[in-house]
């Protein structure tokens, strides 16, 4: 079966490196490259059954774990592996807690990267060996902002709608994009507002931007 992989990283060189690594594993994989969260959103919205999303956590577009949180909400079944220049246990911990399937430090050599990707392709998780990770304790989330807590109560579909609002789309455009009626979009929006304690899409955008900012810890 042909693997579908999305690489979201704004460094062309590293994107190429990741691409090489994937090619070694799966020669005929369909690899899509993007350099911003915005583009990544478009791909995820348009493609089904993506086998892997390699997500850099410090893209110029909108750094942070926001992407991970949002995509995991909207596409819980798509495996996401975080790619990062740093290796701090705190970041890895958060990646785990936010539902990532793995973590690849940019310092890792090709063989490690291949091993990680292979592991995730097989449906398992892959984490680097780092001091301080063991004392993790899966109970409760760490460094979770209030916004993140509220956001995490959204259902996958609500999350998608929310992200579309944050891109500045009209209800009509969201409806078209998701191929459901505008009426349903409104239903979702009303539910979203109640969960997030807000009352307008304008405030939703502010909420989204705060979320991006507060989850940034690269």
Q: How is residue 147 written in tokens?
A: 């916004």
Sheet with 102-105, edge to edge strand ranges? 30-34, 4-8, 52-56, 80-84, 102-105
- Under the binding rule (CB under 7 A), the answer on residue 157 touching DNA is yes
Token pair in block for residue 67: 């992407």
Closest by CA to 41, choosing from 148, 130, 160, 190, is 160
Q: Which does 110 bind (CB under 5 to 8 A by kind): a second copy, DNA, none?
A: none
x/- contact string, 186-215, with DNA (CB under 7 A)? xxxxx--x-----xxxx-------------
**Alpha-helical segments (H) within 122-215:** 146-151, 156-166, 171-178, 182-196, 201-214
170 interacts with a second copy by CB under 8 A: yes
Binding test (CB under 8 A) with a second copy, winner from 3, 72, 93, 201: 201
Question: Which residue do the tokens 């209800």 mark?
Answer: 171
Contact stretch for DNA (CB under 7 A) within 21-29, 56-64, 122-130, 154-162: 154-162
The four Cα atoms 116, 85, 39, 13 give a dihedral, to 10 degrees, of: -90
Residues across the chain: 218
Rounded to an integer, what distance in angstroms lies between the CA atom of residue 36 and that of residue 87?
21
Does position 58 interact with a second copy (CB under 8 A)? The reply is no
Is 181 a binder of a second copy (CB under 8 A)?
no
Q: Does 188 bind a second copy (CB under 8 A)?
A: no
Report helix, strand or coil for 184.
helix
**Does 190 engage in binding with a second copy (CB under 8 A)?**
no
Least Å from the CB of residue 41 to a second copy: 14
Give the residue from 205, 176, 21 showing the smallest Cα distance to 3. 21
Which position among 34, 59, 165, 192 is part of the footprint of a second copy (CB under 8 A)?
165
The residue among 136, 156, 160, 147 whose CA lies nearest residue 215 is 147
Residue range at the interface with DNA (CB under 7 A); choices 28-36, 59-67, 124-132, 166-174: 166-174
202 binds a second copy (CB under 8 A): yes
Work out which of 119, 144, 180, 210 binds DNA, going by CB under 7 A.
180
List of residues contacting DNA (CB under 7 A): 155-158, 170-172, 178, 180-181, 183-184, 186-190, 193, 199-202
């Amino acid at each position: 079966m042909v693997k579908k992989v999305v690489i979201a990283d704004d460094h062309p060189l590293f994107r190429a490196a990741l691409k090489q690594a994937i090619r070694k594993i799966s020669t005929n994989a369909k690899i899509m490259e993007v350099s911003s969260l915005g583009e990544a959103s478009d791909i995820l919205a348009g493609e089904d059954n993506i086998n892997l999303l390699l997500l850099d956590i410090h893209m110029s577009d909108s750094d942070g774990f926001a992407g991970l949180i949002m995509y995991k909400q909207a596409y819980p079944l798509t495996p996401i592996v975080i790619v990062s220049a740093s290796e701090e246990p705190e970041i890895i911990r958060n990646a785990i807690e936010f539902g990532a399937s793995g973590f690849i430090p940019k310092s890792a050599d090709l063989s490690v990267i291949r091993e990680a990707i292979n592991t995730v392709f097989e449906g398992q998780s892959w984490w680097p060996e780092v001091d301080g990770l063991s004392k993790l304790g899966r109970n409760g989330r760490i460094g979770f902002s209030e916004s993140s807590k509220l956001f995490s109560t959204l259902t996958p579909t609500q999350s998608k709608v929310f992200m579309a609002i944050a891109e500045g789309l009209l209800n009509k455009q969201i409806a078209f994009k998701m191929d459901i009626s505008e009426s349903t979009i409104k239903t979702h929006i009303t539910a979203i507002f109640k969960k997030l304690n807000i009352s307008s899409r304008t405030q939703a955008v502010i909420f989204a931007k705060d979320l991006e900012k507060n989850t940034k810890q690269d």
